[in-house]
Amino acid sequence: MRRAIVRGTGHYLPERVVENSWFEDKLDTSDEWIRARTGIERRHFAAEEQRTSDLGILAGRAALENAGLSADQLDAVIVATSTPDLTFPSVATMVQAGLGMRRGFAYDIQAVCAGFVYALANADAMIRAGLAERVLVIGAETFSRIMDWTDRGTCVLFGDGAGAVVLEAAEAEGASSDRGILATDLNSDGQYRDLLYVDGGVASTGTAGHLRMQGNLVFRHAVEKLADTAHHALDKGGLGPEDVDWLVPHQANLRIIEATAKRMQLPMDKVVLTVADHGNTSAASIPLALSVANAQGRIKPGQVLVAEAIGGGLAWGAVVLRW
Ligand code: UT7
């Protein structure tokens, strides 16, 4: 059978770093509260002229370099984002052009913070079905553009950035010892739309709108659903929590990550953490964490990784892969 294996990773973070203390004279908040309740210490914000596609192009270029490939060796580009440059065309086609790729196809996936997990599952299915040999999967976001800067419950949480992974087809046995994506688990439940949404859009207000969240309710769903989806994905892959070398969680809140690791009976030294330095970068958070950990040489060939995320929709899911 065919599997989608990871050939390379890359990321890009905008130059501007904003520490928690930056919010203190603007809002009734403190560095202490933000650290204690979220684990976030700082985040990156894109420059005024930088768009989501610019971040995606830089992350994509870094992943191609890491993979030792050129853009015209790709068959497809998938970008997970909820903060596109324009209503259309897709960010993915802009990234395709920016990378100088003149063949293949490109499209966006919108599953908010779960977007990268959805995009990986999509690319995996494409590769296994023989529709593509090599797919560049990117999570890229500029959530700073949809913040309500007067809402202390949301604006301190999010940051901008992009991460990318090159997936490549490889022949495999069909066993849990194979390299590559072993299993995926996707879920959504639209009855929870009011817990996390943006209050604007093309067909409603004609504006981009601002992010609205009932944080404590999302928190409860996250703690319950993330460990469940991770367990389901492991089960589908013929593995158990004891086989996991690295949990690569969506970086929304350190307390959610700790609770998920605990429910999976994983020690925190098996968890990739970037939330302190990146904040919540929505669909970009998992590929950013993956790329940072890979660049640090922490992920070794043969190791088992579980990536999981939840966000607006609600939409959530997990991917299990062997490096
Ligand atoms: O990425 C998509 C998925 N999103 C998430 O996973 C986010 C999930 N939610 C969370 O991470 C947490 O719910 C938050 C970090 C957003 C909030 O933490 P919490 O422990 O759930 O606090 P809370 O919302 O229950 O609020 C506790 C108190 C409230 O004050 P009162 O009503 O008790 O007086 C808030 O108004 O904390 C207050 N608060 C703040 N205080 C200082 C909320 N935001 C802030 C702030 N600074 N920035």
Tens of pLDDT, residue by residue over 149-170, are 999 999 999 999 999 999 999 9
Q: Which atom of ligand 1 is nearest to the CA of 153?
A: 44
Which residues, 6+ apart, have CB-to-CB distance to 16 below 8 Å?
A: 44, 45, 46, 47
CATH of the domain at 298: 3.40.47.10
Same domain, 244 and 161: no
Tell me: do 186 and 280 sit in the same domain: yes
Do 253 and 281 belong to one domain? yes
d(CA 46, CA 119) in angstroms, rounded, equals: 23
Output the six-digit token pair for 43: 């985040």
Burial of 145 (0-12, 13-18, 19+ CB in 10 A): middle
Q: Model pTM? A: 0.97
The minimum-distance atom of ligand 1 relative to the CA of 280 is: 1
Domain final residue, candidates 123, 139, 171: 171
- 205 shares a domain with 123: no
> Domain check: are 18 and 148 in the same one?
yes
Closest residue to atom 37 of ligand 1, CA basis? 153
Site residues for ligand 1, CB cut-off 6 Å: 29, 33-34, 37-38, 113, 152-153, 156, 215-216, 218-219, 222, 252-253, 256, 280, 310-311
Same domain, 164 and 219: no
Q: Catalytic site residues?
A: 113, 250, 280
The rounded Å distance from CA 216 to ligand 1 centre is 6
Give the residue-averaged pLDDT of 67-92: 98
Nearest CA to 119 out of 186, 52, 55 is that of 186
User: 135, 5, 155, 9: which is closest to 75 by C-alpha?
Assistant: 135
Which residue has a Cα nearest atom 23 of ligand 1? 216
* C-alpha–C-alpha distance, residues 243 and 40, integer Å: 29
- d(CA 82, CA 198) in angstroms, rounded, equals 10
Containing structural domain, residue 67: 2-171
- Same domain for 313 and 184, yes or no, is yes
**215 CA distance to ligand 1 centroid (A)?**
6
Ligand 1 atom nearest to CA at 155: 48
Residues 172-204: tens digit of each pLDDT: 999 999 999 999 999 999 999 999 999 999 999
- If asked whether residues 83 and 30 sit together in one domain, one would say yes
Q: How many independent structural domains does the chain possess?
A: 2
- Tell me, what's the pLDDT at 125? 98
122 shares its domain with 192: no
The alpha carbon dihedral of 220, 224, 225, 226 has a sign of positive
H or E element at residue 45: strand 42-45
**Mean pLDDT of all residues in the chain?**
98
Using alpha carbons only, give the angle 12, 322, 266 rounded to the nearest 5 degrees. 85
DSSP for 66-128 reads HHT--GGG-SEEEEE-SS-SSSSS-HHHHHHHHHT--SSEEEEE--GGGHHHHHHHHHHHHHH
214 pLDDT band, cuts 50/70/90, is very high
Domain finish residue from 140, 171, 202:
171
Are 195 and 298 found together in one domain? yes
* pLDDT on residue 90: 98
Q: How confident is the model at residue 256 (pLDDT cuts 50, 70, 90)?
A: very high
Q: What confidence category does residue 267 fall into, taking pLDDT thresholds of 50, 70 and 90?
A: very high
Burial tier of 205 (Cβ tally within 10 Å: 0-12, 13-18, 19+)? exposed
**Residue 137 sits in the same domain as residue 210:** no
Helix 31-38, helix 254-263: angle, nearest 10? 20
Closest residue to atom 3 of ligand 1, CA basis:
311
Residues 227, 162, single domain; the answer is no
